[in-house]
Amino acid sequence: MSSKGGHPNRRKTSKAGPKIGSGGGKKGLAGKGRTLKAEDRPWHKEYTGDDKPRKTQWKQAKERAKAASEGRTSNIGRSKPAGSATRRRDDEPELILGRNPVLEALRAKVPATALYVAFGTELDDRVAESVRLAGNRDLPIKELARRDLDRRTNNALHQGIGLQIEPYQYAEFEQLLKISQTSGTAPLLVALDGVTDPRNLGAIIRSTAAFGGHGLIIPSKRAASVTAVAWRTSAGAAARLPVAKVVNLTRTIQACQQAGFMTVALDGGGDVDVFDLPVATDPLLIVVGDEGKGVSRLVAETCDHRAGIPISSEVESLNASVAASIALAEVQRQRR
């Protein structure tokens, strides 16, 4: 046996120490403390602490940062403007937000089910009058925490107040036909083709009721519905004039023709002047198109007449509600 070699299996190099990141050493073996329960972690869905709003903000900030890193925009956590309504289906209640919109809706006697006021909301003249009008109508006035109203409105800018509106009850098309045919006067209906602004819809409802119309027909898709905005613009006429939603406007026009109606599409390039309309005293359906596009080609071809309103050459087109009002006023003049 060699005098220098020692044991033949003896390690020739020193033992390797702990490497960085391996968890070795006393520090790596030190305890990390207890694991937090789900209800104690602000980022967990089962968190039950009092600072839930901070938890939500943390998650929203994380989502926005992720969106920014991917080069896209994100609306998470951003407030909607006051006066906007929460997104809904036609068969769901609508929530009108903001001090001016809520007050206007109550003054217009828009059908409502409840008034929501957040705790700590400044009672200015608008809020005070809204509460008074709601009380006069025996509407429930519900006070709730501001964060609860934030959650109910999906973080929209509500200014501490919201009005829940009843879903509008649409009539059936056959019901409109029956109402117009049994009214004792020459039937008069109005149909809209592509009108997407609820303010235009509300104004046309008002004009139709004012000039002796018996009902309004709107498409179920790509068209304005009777929302609270339309209610306010109609100045209460939406409570008196039945409105029907139809799936196919062209087939509805054909059904009116089979029921004995003459059909007229308002069209700037029409074949007849609205002031010389030969069928004004007959059972009549007037079709109004969008201000920019007008009535669609198929709808115009289906109607019996296309009537134009003479205007100055400097003006390209009339607002849909203005055009409808002119046509309805002329029909009533001829019928008188």
How many CB atoms lie under 10 A from the CB of residue 158?
A: 29
Query: Average pLDDT for residues 117-127, to the nearest whole number?
Result: 88
Task: Report the distance separating Cα 254 and Cα 47, nearest Å.
Answer: 59
CA 127/CA 99 separation, integer angstroms: 6
Strands of the 161-165 sheet, one edge to the other: 94-97, 161-165, 112-118, 141-144
Check if the beta carbon of residue 60 is closer than 8 Å to that of residue 52: no
Q: What is the DSSP letter of 36?
A: P
Q: How many angstroms separate the CA atoms of 61 and 309, rounded?
A: 54
Rounded mean pLDDT, 281-307:
91
Note the pLDDT of residue 155: 83
Angstrom distance (rounded) from CA 329 to CA 323: 10
pLDDT, residue 121, reads 85
Cα 127 to Cα 82: distance, rounded to the nearest angstrom: 14
Alpha helices in 88-153 (DSSP H): 99-107, 125-136, 146-152
- The reported pLDDT for the residue numbered 20 is 53
End-to-end Cα spacing for the chain: 134
> For residue 98, what are the contacts with CB-CB under 8 A and spacing of at least 6?
82, 83, 84, 157, 158, 159, 161
Give pLDDT, residue 305: 93
Reported as a single tens digit per residue, the pLDDT across 88-117 is 555 567 888 888 888 888 888 888 999 999
- For residue 190, what pLDDT band results from cuts at 50, 70 and 90? very high
pLDDT in tens, 258-281: 999 999 999 877 888 999 999 999
Number of helices (H), then strands (E), belonging to the chain: the values are: 11, 11
What is the DSSP annotation of 77-96?
TPPPPTT-B----TTS-EEE
Sign of the alpha-carbon dihedral angle for 119, 125, 128, 129: negative
Looking at residue 80, its pLDDT comes to 47
Measured at the alpha carbon of residue 290, what is the angle toward residues 309 and 248, in degrees to the nearest 5? 115
Cα–Cα distance, 252 to 259 (Å, whole number): 11
**Average of pLDDT values for 231-255?**
90
For residue 48, which amino acid is it?
T
Predicted TM-score (pTM) of the model is 0.65
Radius of gyration for the chain, computed over Cα atoms and rounded to the nearest angstrom? 33
Distance CA 336, CA 332 (A): 6
Confidence of residue 131 (pLDDT cuts 50, 70, 90): very high
pLDDT of residue 77: 43
Amino acid (1-letter code) at residue 240: R
CA distances for 153 relative to 118, 160, 164, angstroms:
12, 11, 11
Cβ neighbours around 52 below 10 Å, total: 13
pLDDT of residue 154: 83
The candidate with the shortest Cα–Cα distance to 108, out of 227, 232, 225, is 232
